[in-house]
Amino acid sequence: MTQAMHQVLVIEDDDAIRNVVRLLLQAEQYRVIEASTAARAEIEARSHKPDLLLVDLGLPDGDGLRVIEHVRQWSQVPIVVLSARAMEAQKVAALDAGADDFVTKPFSAPELLARVRAALRRGVRGNEPTPLLRLGKITIDLARREAQSPDGDVHLTPLEYRVLESLARQAGMIVTAGQLIQQAWGPDRPDDDTRNLRVCLKNLRQKLEPDAARPRYIVTEPGLGYRLRVSE
């Protein structure tokens, strides 16, 4: 699918912000649909089946969280929250409701467009097998569970592969600690049992990052979770 074919539903009640977002997206050849209320957003989402939703949380007839929850009942379309709510609890609530990412107002145009591209890539991948990952000079084949650097093989444990695969399936997006724990350890592991996750991520960074103390690829989003940044 070419970029010009992507359709984005912008759900925002502030006319000025909605106009800015529309112009930014149209300049990048995205097709834009607009909604200024929660009720209208759900109608537009069902009728147009957009490739991406940009959702403001503060809507005049309800909370954007309700829109996210209702859409998630019938669609896995990528959802990026665009909101002035900066509290960690509010961001976590949006991610728990089904959002893929969170951009805080005021935002920069490059940041917003980068998050849109990442979310659309996630949508196109869907349930397809995870492709080869390239983290700098290291190439990782998750299907074969092989990792190569210019110096030779990189040994990753089965658990490290599972955590990395969970991040890779939503590359560029925020993945909460609870999601990683459930996907890598299984549904019987409590979501708040994060100690072993932190140890696993520390080991992955030591093996895959040029500088584990300043990670470039496996990035912590404080209070929210983690984000995998892959090499283009």
**Residue range 8-25, pLDDT digits in tens:** 999 999 999 999 999 999
The CATH 1.10.10.10 portion of the chain extends over 133-228
pLDDT at 2: 45
**Residue range 31-48, pLDDT digits in tens:** 999 999 999 999 999 999
pLDDT at 131: 64
The pLDDT confidence band at residue 95, using thresholds 50, 70 and 90, is confident
Which tokens in the block code for residue 193? 């049992």
With 0-12 / 13-18 / 19 or more C-beta atoms within 10 angstroms meaning exposed / middle / buried, residue 104 is: middle
Contact partners, residue 112, CB within 8 Å, separation at least 6: 21, 24, 82, 103
**Residue range 71-88, pLDDT digits in tens:** 999 888 999 999 887 677
The pLDDT confidence band at residue 135, using thresholds 50, 70 and 90, is very high
Beta strands in 22-137 (DSSP E): 31-35, 52-55, 58-59, 62-63, 79-83, 101-104, 133-135
**Residue range 161-189, pLDDT digits in tens:** 999 998 988 888 899 898 899 888 877 77
Does pLDDT of 203 surpass 60? yes
The pLDDT confidence band at residue 5, using thresholds 50, 70 and 90, is confident
Q: Which long-range contacts (CB under 8 A, 24 or more apart) does 148-157 make?
A: 154/207, 154/208, 155/207, 156/204, 156/207, 157/203
How do beta strands 225-228 and 218-221 pair? Answer: antiparallel
pLDDT at 1: 43
Beta bridge partners of 54: 10, 80
Out of 3.70.10.10, 3.30.950.10, 1.10.10.10, 3.40.228.10, select the CATH number for domain 133-228. 1.10.10.10
The CATH 3.40.50.2300 portion of the chain extends over 3-125
With 0-12 / 13-18 / 19 or more C-beta atoms within 10 angstroms meaning exposed / middle / buried, residue 3 is: exposed
Q: How many CA atoms lie within 13 A of 210 on its CB side?
A: 7
Give the predicted TM-score (pTM) of the model. Answer: 0.70
Does pLDDT of 130 surpass 80? no
Superfamily of domain 3-125 in CATH is Response regulator (3.40.50.2300)
Phi, psi of 139 (to 5 degrees): -110, 135
Contact 80, 99 (CB under 8 A): yes
**Residue range 60-74, pLDDT digits in tens:** 998 899 999 999 998
Which tokens in the block code for residue 180? 């990683």
